Structure 1
Amino acid sequence: MTHNLKREFVSSLSISPKEIKEILFKKIKEENDIVKHTITPKDIEKENEIFKNLHFDKNKINIVSLFSGAGGLDLGVEIAGFSAKYGEEKAYSSIKDKKIYDKLRKDSPTNFVYSNDMFEAANLTYKANFPRTVTKLAQNIQKISKFPNSNLMLGGFPCPGFSAAGPRLLDDPRNFLYIHYIRGLIQSQPEFFVAENVKGLMTMGKGEVLKQITEDFSASGYEVSPHLVNSRDYGVPQLRERVFIIGVRKDIVEKYNFIYSPPKATHGKDKLPFVTLHDAISDLPLNPDDVFDSSYSSMYMSRNRKKSWNEQSFTIQASGRQAPQHPAGEPMLHIEKDLWKFQGDFNRRLSVRECARIQTFPDWFKFSAGEKKNVQKNNLLNEQYKQIGNAVPVILAEKMVRPILEFLYEHQDILNQ
C-alpha cells in the first residue's frame, strides 16, 4: 500500500457530481491518448490478434479479470456460479473433490474471457488452474488500449496514494493503476464490478480517500458501495479484514431494482462455529518440505506470531519470511514491549500448503514457483507464498460475490443484450 502519512489529504467535497464526472472523463481521455501514442504498431497488431481470439459465450456470464494474481477471487467467483446453479452444498463439494469441480465446470454459468497480471509465477499458476479458453495476458495495464466487453469485471487495484497536491485522487501520479482500472471499466461496461482492497483504505485521509474512490466509480456509471468484512465470519480460518468495493451499473439498478447487500455472517456467536487452525491444517504433516526456512528479524519477533490450534490464523501475508508460526508446540513468550521469544523445540513458519489451506484454496489448486532456474529454495517458495498472501480467500470471495452471480444467472436476458 503506497501512501504518505506525513502529508495531509485535502478533501474535495465542494466539487459537484457533474464536475467530478468532467474531471474523471478528461483524465481518462488523457490516459487513452497517452496509451495510443506510446504503444507500438507491433503492440497494436498483437492486441488486435488477441481480440480476434477472445472466447465469449452469449449464454454465460462473461468475466474480465484485472490484477488477477493466482486467481483466488476468480476461483471464488466460479464456485459462486456453481452455488447459483447447483446450490451451495454441491458447489462446496467441488472445493474438496477435483472430479466434481471438473464436472461442474463443464456446464458452469460463468465464462472467464480475459485475465491480466504482471506477476510471472502467478500467471503460470492461473494458466494451470483455469480453462484454456481464458486469454491470459502479462502486460502493463498502462499499455493496453482496449478492454473486452463483459458482464462482470474483477480486480483489486493497488491501494492508492494521496497527497495535498491536487483536488482529486486522479491527479496523483501514484494512482495510475487506479486510473487504468476505471479506464478498463468504462470500456468494458460490465453490469457489475468487484474490487477487493486492504482495510486501511477505509481510514486513509480520515475516510476521504474511499469517499472519492466511490465518487469516481459512481461518475463512470455505477452505484458503488464499500463493505468491510472479516474473513473468519464467513468460514475462513483467518483473521483477515478486507474491503470489497461493489459496483452495479446504474441502468441495472433502475430496471431491476437491484441493490447489492453483502451476505450475513455465517460463522460466530449464535451461528456456525468459527473454523479453526485445527480444522484447517491438523491433518497435514508436521515436517513438510515447503517451508520458508531462515532467521527471524527483530520486526518479526516484535509481536506474537503463533496462534493456538483452536484459534484462527493471523493474516497470511505475501511473504514467506513473514508467514505466521505453526500452532504446534509451546506459545511464544512476551518478554517486554516489542519483544517476544520462542519456547520449546517446535517453532517454524507455516508451509506453502498450510497457508493455501488457510486462504481456503483447494488442495488440488497448484501454485507455480515460476520458470527461473538455479534459484535458491527459499526464493522459489517465496514466489508461492506471495501469490497466496496476495489472493482473496476463495470462500470469502464466493460468499461476497454469490448475490451477483445469483442475480445474473436468474436474468439470462441481461447476458443476451
Structure 2
Amino acid sequence: MKLDERGRAKYRPLKEYNVNKVKKLLLDKIEEEQKAIQNIAAEDIKPKLNYKEDKVNVISLFSGCGGLDLGVELAGLAAVVGEEKSVQAFKNKKDFDAVREESIFHTIYSNDLFKEANESYKLNFPSTFQHELDIRKIKEFPKADLVLGGFPCPGFSGAGPRLIDDERNFLYIHFIRCLLQAKPFAFIAENVKGMLTLGNGEVLNQIIQDFSSAGYHVQFKLVNARDYGVPQLRERVFIIGIRNDIEFEYNFPAPSHGKGNKRLPYVTLKDAIGDLKNNPGEWFEGGYSPMYLSRNRKKKWTEQSFTIQASGRQAPLHPSGPDMVKLEKDHWELPGDESLHRRLSVKEIARIQTFPDWFQFSDGGNMDSSKNNRLNKQYKQIGNAVPINLAKAVAMPIARWAKKNLDSTKQLTLF
C-alpha cells in the first residue's frame, strides 16, 4: 500500500497493515484489472498448435527461458521411461533429443515479453508456438490440459519495495483468465517467499481465493530448492490447482535430499561446479557496491549457494579464495587482493540452477554492447528461472497420475 508522501523512493510501503484496508485495496485493484481486460485493444490470434491426443498438452505463461517448462517436461519423461534412463539422457543433448518425444508432457504454447528469454526458449523448445505479447492483450488462450507459470512478483519480493498495489502484482488475474478459457485439469504456479507475508498474508489469501473461484482445488507450500537436489538455498512458493471434477489428490513431494535415513546428501557447490575450475566461462566483472558488501556473498565448497538472483552484478562469489570478513553490522570486506575473488560465471549459475550444459542462453547477439551488458541478459534469464530439479520434483505427482490415466482415457481435455 503506497503513501501519499513521497521520499527518495517512488513509494514508501506501509509498515503496518489493516486487514480490512488491504482487502478493499485488493478487491479494488482486481476490479480495475478486470475492467482493463474489457477495454484493451486485444490481439485476436488463432495460432496453429500441435496438439497430441496421447499427451498432456501444456500452456506456459510468463515462460522466461523455460526452467519450469524443462523441469516439467523431464518429469513427464521420467514417468514414461523411468528415472534412471531420463536422468542419464538429460546429460547429453543428442541423447535427450532421442527420447524427448516420449515425455507425457507436450508444450504447445508459451508467452513472455522478455526478448532474450524468448530467444533462448526458441533455441531449446523449437516446436512450441511462442507468443511474444503482453499477456493483458491476449484475447483468447488456447485449450490445454496443464497450465504453468511463475507470474511476476515485484511487490512480493523481500528484496523489493513490497508494495501491494504495484499493478504487476495483479497479472495473476490473467493466469486465472487463461484457466477459465483453457480449462486445464491442473495448473502449477510459482512465486517468491515474500508473497506469504505481504499484507499480513491477506494478499496470498486473496490469490488462493481467486484461483479457487476458477473451479480448482488449490493448495500451496513453501519449499527450499536444496531439499530436491539443487545446490542452492532458494525458497519458493508453489501453488498447485486440480480441477474440481478431477479425482486426483495432489500431494507435495517429500524432500529427497538432506538429513534423514531415506534422503540423499545435499548437493554441494563442489558437486555442482567443482569440475569447472579451469573452464568456468565468462563472468560479470566490476567493483562491489556498499550494498553488495553489506552481507556475506561467499559460500564454501561444501555448502549450497546463496539464491541466484536475476542480476550479474548481484551474483554470489565463487567459493575459491579467502572467506569474506564481517567488520560490523551490514559491512563485510573481501580480504586480500580483489583478484582473489570473482562472481560466479554464467555457466556456473546455470549449473547451480540445475540447467544442463547443453541448454543455450541468448545474450541478444549485439556485439556492440558491452560484455557485462550481454552477460547480464543471461544472468537475468537464469536467475528468474525455476531450478530444473525443483520443477521436476513438484511436477512428478502430476506426471505419474497423468501417465496412468492417459493410458486408458487418451485425452483429458476435449478440444
Is TM (by shorter chain) over 0.5?
Answer: yes
Aligned partner of 2:249 in structure 1 is 259
Aligned counterpart in structure 1 of residue 335 of structure 2, from 343, 351, 364: 343
The alpha-carbon distance between structure 1 residues 14 and 117, as it changes in their structure 2 partners (threshold 3 A), is closer
User: Secondary structure of the equivalent of 1:210?
Assistant: helix
CA offset digits 1:264-295 (Å, max 9, x no partner): 00111122110000000010034644110011
What stretches of structure 1 of length at least 5 have no aligned partner?
163-168
Identity of aligned residues (%): 53
1:121, 1:371 within 8 Å by CA — same for their partners in 2? no
- 1:206, 1:215 → 2: CA distance? 16
1:116 aligns with 2:121: no
The letter for the 2-side match of 1:93 is Q
1:24, 1:170 within 8 Å by CA — same for their partners in 2? no
User: Secondary structure of the equivalent of 1:314?
Assistant: coil
- 2:313, 2:178 → 1: CA distance? 35
Aligned partner of 2:53 in structure 1 is 58
2:164, 2:203 within 8 Å by CA — same for their partners in 1? no
Alpha-carbon RMSD = 2.6
Aligned partner of 1:93 in structure 2 is 88
CA offset digits 1:338-392 (Å, max 9, x no partner): 1111124520000000000000000010111013341000000000000000000
User: Secondary structure of the equivalent of 1:30?
Assistant: helix
1:310 aligns with 2:315: no
The range that moved more, 352-361 or 289-298, is: 289-298
User: 1:231 deviation in Å?
Assistant: 0.5
TM-score, L = length of structure 2: 0.88
1:30 aligns with 2:35: yes
CA offset digits 1:311-351 (Å, max 9, x no partner): 00000000000000000111111111111111245200000
1:160, 1:178 within 8 Å by CA — same for their partners in 2? no
User: 1:308 deviation in Å?
Assistant: 0.4
2:29, 2:170 within 8 Å by CA — same for their partners in 1? no
The range that moved more, 341-350 or 236-245, is: 341-350
The letter for the 2-side match of 1:357 is R
2:62, 2:111 within 8 Å by CA — same for their partners in 1? yes
The letter for the 2-side match of 1:315 is T
- 1:187, 1:12 → 2: CA distance? 31
Give the total of aligned pairs: 390
The letter for the 2-side match of 1:67 is F
- 2:330, 2:102 → 1: CA distance? 53
Aligned partner of 2:272 in structure 1 is 280
User: 1:204 deviation in Å?
Assistant: 1.0
User: Secondary structure of the equivalent of 1:371?
Assistant: coil
- 1:29, 1:343 → 2: CA distance? 54
The letter for the 1-side match of 2:82 is G
User: Secondary structure of the equivalent of 2:335?
Assistant: coil
- 1:9, 1:295 → 2: CA distance? 38
Aligned partner of 2:412 in structure 1 is 415
1:329 aligns with 2:321: yes
1:24, 1:216 within 8 Å by CA — same for their partners in 2? no
2:164, 2:198 within 8 Å by CA — same for their partners in 1? no
The letter for the 1-side match of 2:53 is K
The alpha-carbon distance between structure 1 residues 171 and 203, as it changes in their structure 2 partners (threshold 3 A), is closer
- 1:25, 1:358 → 2: CA distance? 37
User: 1:177 deviation in Å?
Assistant: 1.1
The letter for the 1-side match of 2:412 is L
Aligned partner of 1:234 in structure 2 is 228
User: 1:5 deviation in Å?
Assistant: 3.1
Q: Within 5 Å, which residues of 2 pair with 1:64-143?
A: 64-130=59-125, 132-143=126-137
The alpha-carbon distance between structure 1 residues 402 and 289, as it changes in their structure 2 partners (threshold 3 A), is closer
- 1:174, 1:348 → 2: CA distance? 34
User: Secondary structure of the equivalent of 1:62?
Assistant: strand
Aligned counterpart in structure 2 of residue 178 of structure 1, from 172, 178, 185: 172
2:66, 2:121 within 8 Å by CA — same for their partners in 1? yes
- 1:287, 1:335 → 2: CA distance? 33
2:147, 2:184 within 8 Å by CA — same for their partners in 1? yes
- 2:20, 2:399 → 1: CA distance? 35
- 1:305, 1:392 → 2: CA distance? 21
User: Secondary structure of the equivalent of 1:264?
Assistant: coil
User: 1:212 deviation in Å?
Assistant: 1.1
- 1:241, 1:146 → 2: CA distance? 33
The alpha-carbon distance between structure 1 residues 312 and 133, as it changes in their structure 2 partners (threshold 3 A), is same
The letter for the 2-side match of 1:335 is L
User: 1:88 deviation in Å?
Assistant: 1.3
Aligned partner of 2:14 in structure 1 is 6
The range that moved more, 405-414 or 116-125, is: 405-414
